[in-house]
């Protein structure tokens, strides 16, 4: 099956899209990828809506409608740009995540905006969406979703356990694959999210480009210790986070460079705390997501974890693995195969994810 997978992450970079061929078990081949960035105005509107959801559990109706329309329009634009590329082929199914504006697993609540029915009807292709809700309905955390795809990638590149895939996005999460092929996953803590927000708050850009800011600062050990004392780190996995779960104002009194250095150390050390729960330590960590582009983050991870390599070193598309995963999950969903498991989300049993939105128009893809 030829699938287009979408991911719009909490970093608000834009919409990632990737094409792959898969039956939801094996990965046959990879098609082209594409990123459609949000404009500054679009990003500001979606950010405002997200912050309203975090603060109050909802958003003002007019703002919500505007943000929803931005998400749908960006995905449609991204799909059309991607499908014009050589090698795209004929798309049979779309996997769609939407834009998370609130994730509160303690309340059984996860909210994504961006109407999937509009995407199905505009593009004329069936869409699998609502990929977290079924897991949360049975008591799971609704995250991480990607572990079953990480396991398929490990088979694709010929790697056996004990290894781990670590995604460093807005939130960081890992998938551990043991020597007995057992899969364990959890959100470890912040990925790039707190660092990005700090850089933005100080008017220094959207992110710490090349890790230059963090490289010029020093870790404030008192602030780091306070951050690592958060109750989240005392919980056993499976467990998941929202990007806004940690207080950002704790670094307000630090210089920009020291704040960046401290937040990088927080990301790395929180991953190490999560790894302590594993039955055996990975011999290799394969790093995915935007964080792998930051050499200071990569060095900090190597200091606490050991062998860390970029996903790209194994021929993978490190910026698009989550988009690929949503497509893979869509293929599993239509076949009724499980996506989440007791050791990945805490669901009581393997659970199939996703709702199918049938296209009401002739295909244009």
Asked if residue 89 lies in contact with residue 19, where contact means CB atoms within 8 angstroms, the answer is yes
Q: Is 9 annotated as a binding residue?
A: yes
If you search the block for the tokens 């396991």, which residue do you land on? 151
Nearest 5°: the CA angle 238, 240, 241 is 160
Q: Calculate helix-pair angle for 256-275, 221-228, nearest 10 degrees.
A: 40
Annotated binding-site residue? 10:
yes
d(CA 284, CA 317): 18
Two structure tokens written together for 333: 């969903």
* 16 marked as part of a ligand binding site: yes
307 CB contacts (<8 Å, ≥6 apart)?
283, 284, 285
According to the annotation, is 115 in a ligand binding site? Answer: no
What b/e sequence results for 123-133 when a residue is b if at least 16 CB atoms lie within 10 Å of its CB, and e otherwise?
Answer: bebbbbbbbbb
Q: Is 13 annotated as belonging to a binding site?
A: yes
Beta-carbon contacts of 270 under 8 Å, excluding residues fewer than 6 positions away, are 172, 188, 189, 190, 228, 233
Beta pairing partners, 201 = none
3-state secondary structure of 224: helix
Q: Is 180 annotated as a binding residue?
A: no
Residue 267 counted as an annotated binding residue: no
Q: CB under 8 Å to 156, separation ≥6 — which residues?
A: 26, 27
Binding site, annotated residues for ATP: 9-16
Binding site, annotated residues: 9-16
């Amino acid at each position: 099956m030829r699938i287009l997978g979408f991911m719009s992450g909490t970093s608000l970079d834009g919409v990632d899209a990737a094409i792959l061929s898969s039956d939801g078990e094996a990965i046959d081949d990879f098609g082209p990828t594409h990123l459609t960035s949000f404009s500054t105005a679009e990003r500001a509107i979606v950010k405002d809506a997200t912050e309203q959801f975090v603060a109050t559990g909802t958003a003002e109706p007019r703002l919500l409608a505007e943000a929803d329309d931005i998400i749908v329009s960006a995905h449609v634009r991204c799909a059309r740009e991607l499908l014009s590329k050589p090698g795209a082929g004929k798309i049979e199914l779309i996997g769609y995540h939407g834009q998370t504006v609130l994730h509160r697993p303690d309340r059984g609540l996860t909210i994504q905006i961006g109407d999937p029915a509009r995407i199905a009807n505009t593009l004329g292709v069936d869409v699998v969406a609502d990929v977290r809700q079924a897991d949360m309905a049975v008591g799971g955390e609704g995250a991480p979703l990607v572990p079953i795809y990480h396991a398929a990638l490990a088979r694709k590149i010929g790697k056996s356990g004990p290894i781990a895939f670590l995604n460093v996005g807005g939130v960081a999460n890992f998938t551990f694959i043991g020597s007995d092929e057992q899969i364990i996953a959890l959100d470890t803590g912040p990925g790039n999210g707190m660092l990005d927000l700090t850089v933005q708050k100080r008017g220094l850009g959207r992110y710490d480009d090349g890790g230059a800011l963090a490289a010029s600062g020093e870790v404030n050990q008192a602030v780091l210790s306070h951050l690592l004392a958060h109750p989240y780190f005392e919980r056993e996995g499976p467990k998941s986070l929202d990007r806004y779960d940690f207080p950002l104002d704790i670094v307000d009194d630090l210089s920009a460079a020291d704040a960046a250095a401290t937040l990088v150390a927080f990301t790395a050390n929180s991953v190490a705390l999560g790894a302590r729960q594993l039955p055996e330590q990975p011999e290799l960590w394969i790093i995915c997501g935007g964080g792998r582009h930051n050499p200071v983050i990569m060095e900090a991870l190597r200091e606490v974890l050991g062998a860390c390599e970029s996903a790209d070193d194994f021929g993978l598309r490190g910026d698009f693995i989550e988009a690929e995963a949503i497509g893979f999950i869509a293929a599993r969903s239509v076949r009724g195969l499980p996506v989440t498991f007791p050791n990945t989300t805490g669901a009581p049993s393997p659970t199939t994810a996703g709702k199918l939105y049938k296209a009401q128009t002739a295909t244009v893809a």
